[in-house]
Structure 1
Amino acid sequence: MLSEGRPRLASRRFGHQCQKRLRRCIIVFDEECFQGRRHEFTSECTNVMELGFETVRSLRVESGAWVGYEHASFQGQQFVLERGEYPQCDAFGGSNAYHIERLTSFRPIACANHRECRMTIFERENFLARKGELSDDYPSLQAMGWCNNEVGSLKVQSGA
């Protein structure tokens, strides 16, 4: 991001306002390569269409980590957006396994209290069959008594 101690042009052009405010900031554009209309956020957005955007075509995460969602109200495919530039939609997903065509809602990732993490894993989909509770790191599920090599579904009660 920095070249010889100076921010790149994009950083000077897009980021100066965000850095003065909160620790989380994302700037979205309605055209690729940071063109067109732009809007700056320091908190969640449930639907960019309410701002007159059809979808987000490019974005820049100035600070914090964010979760982007394909549909409004935090629905659909989700993906993590870390600090950096995302000049096109296909840069959002980060994987060729699922092609992202739109970004309609997003929210910052809040810091979690990892001392109080708790998750329940289930043998089958839809939270069915045998279950086990995790509250620490487990390098091997079999070592903790989980006989199956797969987890069908899970619920996060607390933590990240």
Structure 2
Amino acid sequence: MKKPIVVAAVCILCAIAAAGFLYTAVFQKSGAKADIIEYVQTNQEALEQFATGLLADPPGVTAYNEEWQISWYPAAGMVEFITKGSGVGSATAYEGFYYSEDDRPIGFQGTEVDFVWDDTGWSWEETDGDNHERTERITARWYWFQMNF
């Protein structure tokens, strides 16, 4: 009689452990920033051709590698790749990378913001709100970013 209870308990514990692993692997991808940096460094030449082509003659595409949403802002000289988005409404966060034609930090969606430099990158915080952005240089003309609303 105790054997079925032990087997059921072990099965439940295994299911909980598997669900925890799946949640961590799929939803929390803690290496997103490192993955982005590695991707840009590895594929810089192809990315640069793609970005400069978009700024010169936009073909109307809205995705890169059928995975990441892209937007381009010719006035700012920026092409933005959103690799991760989460949340709803005022609790939304975006992460990705962007091409900066002038090799300078640019705010989310090509916005000019007053970034403040620290030891590893630039930060911006909205004066009368909770919006904030972090950006760091990956390599020449390429930057990682995280924007929180």
Both structures adopt the same fold (TM-score exceeding 0.5): no
TM-score (norm 1): 0.27
In proportion to residue count, which structure has more helix? 2
